[in-house]
Structure formats: structure tokens, C-alpha cells
Structure 1
Amino acid sequence: MNHPRTYIFFLFLGFYCFNLTAQEQLDGVILDEETRDPIEGSHVLNLSKKTMAVTNNKGEFLVQAQAFDTLLISNVNYQRKQFIILKPQSVIVLMTPLVIQLDEVEVSNIPINSNIFSEKVRELEKQKSKKLRMYGVPEAKPMAEIPPLFQVDNSLKFWENGRILPPHTIDIYVIPKMLSRKYKAKMKYYALKADKGEITEVNKKFNRVIIKQLVKLEGDLLTDFIMFMDVEDDFIKKSSEYEIAAYIKEKYNEFMHFGE
């Protein structure tokens, strides 16, 4: 006789627990306020119960919540929204897009051209950098500069500083080198290589194309102007591109005045 009562008791108990569990779940969807598009990846935080959910690609979420719980919804691209649940039923939340507006910036003291800008940069005070020293690595001794092979003096010397050198100080091994064709060819090769490197450096800083862009001359008139300047290679190697351009401008004024 007690079995039907027990069965009815557990049936009502299960229904009560299911109803209680259902009341603790709140579902909803989060949409963009302007486009009504679903917002994926929004965080739905129940501040009252310390639980959280994240919306799917349809903007849907399911979080544990009851009446009078406080929800906080956040997304990096939208303004935060916080509200209190009055009834545990499905909700639709509209999020306002977050607009970051920067203050207007006024730029002044802009140089007229690149030459003036480069000149101002050169006039800036330079700060000497501290010597880099790596911990745990012993400080190395400075090594003497090794001259190029074409600058090494391998000539046979008998006289130096106004006196005759003693026989034991004369390098007799230089004689075979001086007579060797291979050695002479090698020395000539290194000398030509060094000259070619210097010519390349000069041509990068001073050539017909650069002069034409600066003075707007062409043809024979440009050739006459280049011959009129008569610039030496040492000046080009020691001067900066800005100094060379200023020199060309100065000579151009002289050239045009000379032709009048």
C-alpha cells in the first residue's frame, strides 16, 4: 500500500527539482543596436552568483541566473551594459558600438623642404651613447687597423731617418717578391680594386642625373656646367650630400651669371 505513495512522492520531488533548475537558467541573445547583427564573443557575467557565459556566433547565451540578479555584459567593440533581472525569462540585449574619438592635433613648424629638415636634424644636440659591455664577457683589447694590401710598403729599404740601416735589419725576403710577376699582378689588382671602390662612392654622391635634377639643365649645357664646376674627388668623398647640393646650387648661379 505504501508503494503508490512513495512513487507519487518521488514524482513530485523530481518535478520540483526540475522546475527549480529551469528557473536558475537565463537564456538570451545579444545584438548590435544599429545593424541588429548578432555579436559573438560577448561576456555575460552574473555579478550576484559570480558565473559567466560567452555568446556564440548567433549572439546567444545561457547563464545561471534568478530574479533580481545583476548581469554585466561586455565586449571590446561595444559599451558595457549592466541591468537587473526582473523575471527569469528570455532577454534580448542591444549593445551600443564603442566609438573612440581622438582630440584634434595641430602640427606646426613644418620645414619648407627636405633640405631644411635635414639641416635642422643635423643641428640637434647629439648624445654620446655609453660603451656597451656584456656581462660575463671579458673586455677585448683594441686591435690595430690592418691596412689594405695595396698600401703595405714592401719595398727594399737601405736608408731610413737620415741613416744607413744595419745589414741585419734589411728584409732580404722582399727581393723575391719584387721580382715575382704574380706578386706584381696581385698588387696591381688590389690597387685597381681600391680605385674602383672610390669611384663608385663618388658616383653615388655626384653624377649627371643628380646635377640635372638640381639645376634643370640638359644636353651640352649640362656638360658645360659640369666642366665649369671642376669638382675634385676629394671634396666629394669628404662632403655630405647636402653640402654637395649646396655647392652645385652656388656654382649654378655663378654659371648663369657668367653666361649673361
Structure 2
Amino acid sequence: MKKTIALLFTCIGLVAFSQEKAQDPQEIEAIIVNAQTDEPLESVHVINLNQVKGTISDSKGKFRIPAAVNDTLYLTYLGFKPQKVRVTNDMFKFADTRIALTELAYALEEVIIRPYQLTGFLEIDVKNLPINTAYQYSISGLSKSYEAGNKNPSAVTKVLGAILNPADLLRNLFGKRPRQMRKLRQMKEDDQIRDLLASKFDRETLTELLQLEKVDIEDILSNCNYSESFIQTANDLQILDAISSCYEEYKVLNRGN
């Protein structure tokens, strides 16, 4: 009899545990407002950077999105400063959590561009001119040197990658971020994220999602034979698709090695 009761409680515990697991992932609900006016903001794009899920706030500033504690939400809205919000336990318990976005300042002070402050005295002006920090790297057997831009460990790697084999540079960039690169497929499958990226041209959302620097994105596409014009003018969705295509080619190449 005791064994039967113990078995019954064990089964109940397993059922309860499985129900809790079935409820994952949970969703949070919050309201986005203008920090200056406290008015709700409609059509704010919200992305869960950890789970690669996106949504948009409604006319009352409300949104719902799958999330877990310590996930990071990335909020963007035209004319407002992008903001990151860490998901906390209280967000699951209260539906009236308010997130305030700060409006960007449009007033720009007059700027006078003076590249160098010249006095007219040669001895003084020579000392004020900036020192060229673009270092040159020469390789035995090649007739000319190559400029890497600055003196850091990645500079030499980029020079060698560009000279010897573009695939080497891709391997260096992709190989260090396999987890971030796996997000590419998730991003392409989420319609909300795709719609957001289609309206973006600044690469800021892409850098947050992929944890890549803008210069890395440019290096990847350049070494996948995309033109400078495309890299500079394409919207973020086109850039995402180009990186994804490049990554698929890299995987095939890497598998061959």
C-alpha cells in the first residue's frame, strides 16, 4: 500500500513537472511609452535577441513576446534612441510593465570643420599635424607592401586573408562565432524581424542580433564578392540574406576541408 501511494505521488510530480515544461517558453506583456510625454508608442519593433523572436507594439503601446528571465529585448522606433531591456521575474507577474523610449534630439549645433589648427609657423604646425597610424605590412616574395589600417592582431590576419585566399578570412570571421551564425536561419524565418530589417539601413539591429561589428559585416560581404555599392546601399534584410548565402557557401567549403 505504501509503495502504491509513493508511486502515485511520483506520477503526480512527473505530470506537474511536464506541465511546467510544456508551458515554456513563457510570454511577457509590457507597454512602451514616450519618455517625454508618457504617451503610448505604436509600431515599436521589439526583438528578443536570445530567442530571435520579434513583435510590434499595438495602438496602445502594448506587446507580447516569448521570453525567459535574463533574455535581452532590443527596442527600435524611428526618431527614438534604441534601447536594450533585460527580462526580469516581475515582468511575468505584472502585465503593466512600462518601458520608456527617449526621443532623439534633432537640434544640431553649428560645427566649423577645421582639420588642422595651423598657425603659419612651420616649427609649430609640424608638431600639430597628426601622425599616420596606418601601418604597412610587407610579405616576402611580394613586390609591394599592404596597408592594414592600424596596429592590432586582426590587421595582419585581414591582410593575409585578402591576399592569399578569401575563404581564410571567412573562416576566421565565421569560425569564431558559430552560435551567432546559427541565428541566421532563425532570423530569416521570423516575419516580424524580416519586416523590421527591410526598413533598416544602419546595420545597428544586425550588429545586435549577430554580435558582429559593422566592419566585420563589410569584410564578410566583400570577401564573398559583393560590390561596395551593394554593401553601402542595401537594406538590412538584403544584407542578412547575403550573409546567409555567404555562410552556406562557407559551410560547403569548410566541409570539403
Shorter-chain TM-score range: 0.3 to 0.5
Task: Provide the TM-score with structure 2 as the length reference.
Answer: 0.34
Q: Which has more radius of gyration?
A: 1
Higher RCO structure (Cα 8 Å, ≥6 apart): 2
